[in-house]
Amino acid sequence: MTAAVLALHQRLGSPPRLAYAGAGLSLFWLLVALTAPWLAPFDPIEQNLAATLLPPGGAHLLGTDNFGRDILARIIWGTRLDLQMGVFGVLFPLIIGTMIGAIAGYFGGIVDMLLMRLLDVTVSFPFLVLIIAIVATLGPGLASFYIALALVGWVSYARLVRSRFLVLKSADFVLAAHSLGFSHSRIVLHHILPNAIMPALVFSMSDAVIDVVLGASLSYLGLGIQPPTAEWGLMIAEGQNFIATAWWMTVFPGLAIVLLATGFSLLADGVAEHFGLRD
Amino acid sequence: MTLLAVNDLSVEFVTPGGRLRAVDGVSFELAEGEVLGLVGESGSGKTVACRSMLRLLPSERARIAGGEVLFEGRDLLHESEAQLRRLRGSRLAMIFQNPSTHLDPLMTVGRQVAEPLIYHEGLSSRDARLRAIELLRQVGIPDPAHNIDAYPHQFSGGMRQRAMIAGAIACRPQLLSADEPTTALDVTVQAQILRLLLELRDDSGLAIILVSHDLGVIASTCDRVAVMYAGRIMEQATKAELLRHPRHPYTAGLIASRPGDGARGQELRSIEGQLPALSALPAGCRFHPRCPHAEAVCRTGDLRPLAIDPTHTTACIRWREATAAA
């Protein structure tokens, strides 16, 4: 797979410059998440009632919140959770959706019909409402969030992969693979899937942005990460009562979400353009 | 010894407008090491016939309507799908017209050549790789140890066709069916590929079915030729016999249409009219609307090939008159 991507890369020349900016920004957040224990200047949870609501500057670079917790330290630790929500929030729907899309597209007929009706039923509910309903039913927390996304988010991937399979199953090189006597599973996994997955991978990068924002939103609504854990959406929710007096409690975590989302988006855009998946 | 015997093979396309017979009662035989040319215009059913033998039907709407395909005595049309898969790529192989689209763009050439060896013969990937290098050398790819790691887009058209041939012959098949293998290539490369196919035949006794619309390709390569028209075989004979003494007006027309025979400045000759649509086949001989020798007798009845001598059959009932007139 990696080799295949490199081969395509070689054929297409260098990707657009903004993709590098996006990759750089995404890499920056990844490094922040990995080095959080060494990077964070304070403990993200420990309260210090002698230093509440301090404005940015001095020892607390981005200020403190109403419990005297360092905003910078909380943002740095929060990166771990928000990045994880982006990655795992996408991973399960990607796997499930790809499998369903591949089966539907390759076999067609009644199998395709049944799977597509299942898809229709899923998309007939509004996305956000369905997610919130599932999380509310299962109880707040990351696990519920991932389960909800897996149950709802697969549809986009299934559609993308299915449409590629519909085209590729009658491609000449697939016929050639049949003429060499390969089994269906070998043809699907070794020949069609690597050629079909790229649009889904590119979409997954944009989707990760949505999942980060969605995860933060759920925390904001009290359905996601629970206090006192440091998470960006939760920090914004906690800061809203102080927005007139301590703007830094909401603005900085908000900025972090924007910067992470921008990084993912630029990367996704660049990759899509590079591989000619844009008209 | 007979390797392949196709008897009365028919293939239909099921369409909203009814069933269309793209291949109708085609029969031929092929011995070990023999090269049979299947020649005809586009749409004459030669590709469909060729693919149906391996049960690789061109569309979900196509189905085999009858006949048998005996490979070493086994009827391929009644083998299980699993049995057939075991034969495809190991005993029976196929190469295609357009090597650019018939190779997987995201897999190295070497892995595509090695894949049948791993799959059918259970070779380790290291052994398969060594064999793949040997195969690439055999089909004339320069510097195979280096080029084995190239992707298809890094190859020229001729090299891609060589690579496809390498994959097809990897497991030493007995029969190679080559569907217009040189049509997408330029003329110099065309000759090299045909020479390569003949070398493989000479080295390993490979039998080849060569599908082409180009009589020149057929003439330079084949031992025997079957001429197809509108889904049927019109004439079948050894190459020399067919080219020198065509016993069917269609074959005669094809031969006369070859450029180069007439004097300079003369208009190229062609056969008047067009191949009939499968939905509107004429009664009687399918060629009669375009045939200069057609009489009332050609317009009725179901005309099947008749043997002139043991190696020559024609579907023309007036072949004596037509030959005399020509």
Closest approach of A177 to chain B, Cα-based (Å): 9
Q: Considering only residues 133 to 172 of chain A, which have any Cβ-Cβ distance to chain B shorter than 8 Å? A: 171-172
Which residues from B are below 8 Å from A190, CB to CB? Answer: 107, 115
**What ipTM did this prediction achieve?**
0.88
The per-residue pLDDT for A13 is: 60
A11:B153 CB<8 A: yes
Burial class of A67 by CB neighbour count within 10 A (0 to 12, 13 to 18, 19+): middle
Is B21:B10 a contact under the CB 8 Å cutoff?
Answer: yes
**Model confidence band, residue A7 (pLDDT cutoffs 50, 70, 90):** low
Q: How far is Cα B26 from Cα B5, in angstroms, rounded to an integer? A: 11
Cβ distance of B101 and A173 shorter than 8 Å: yes
Distance CA A55, CA A61 (A): 9
Chain A residue with CA closest to B55: the answer is A179
Question: A8, A164, A179, A197: best mutation site toward chain B, by most B Cβ within 10 Å?
Answer: A179
Q: Is B107 in contact with A186 (Cβ distance < 8 A)?
A: no
Measured on CA atoms in the order B232, B237, B238, B243, is the torsion positive or negative? negative
Q: Do B115 and A194 touch (CB under 8 A)?
A: no
A118 interfaces chain B, CB cutoff of 8 Å = no
Q: Do A190 and B107 touch (CB under 8 A)?
A: yes
A87 CA: distance to closest CA in chain B (Å): 26
Distance CA B236, CA B251 (A): 10
Mean residue pLDDT of chain A comes to 87
Please state whether the peptide bond connecting residue B181 to the residue before it is cis, i.e. omega within 30 degrees of 0: no
| Confidence label for A15 from pLDDT (cuts 50, 70 and 90) | low
Structure tokens of B248? 């069917």
Q: Assign B177 a pLDDT band (cuts: 50, 70, 90).
A: very high
Give the CA angle between residues B7, B8, B11 to the nearest 5°. 120
pLDDT tens digits for range A162-186: 999 999 998 999 999 999 999 999 9
Q: How far is A115 from chain B (nearest CA, A)?
A: 20
Q: Is A181 on the interface with B (CB under 8 A)?
A: yes
CA distance A1 to chain B (A): 8
Residue of chain B whose Cα is closest to the Cα of A184 = B85
* Under 8 Å between Cβ of A86 and A212: yes
Q: Is the CB of residue A11 less than 8 Å away from at least one CB of chain B? A: yes
Element (H, E) at B8: strand B2-15
Q: Which tops the pLDDT comparison, A238 or A1?
A: A238
Asked if A47 reaches chain B (Cβ–Cβ under 8 Å), the answer is no
Tell me, yes or no, if A3 comes closer than 8 A to chain B by beta carbon. yes
The amino acid present at B165, given as its one-letter code, is I
Tens digit of each residue's pLDDT (9 = 90 or more) over A50-72: 888 888 887 888 888 888 898 89
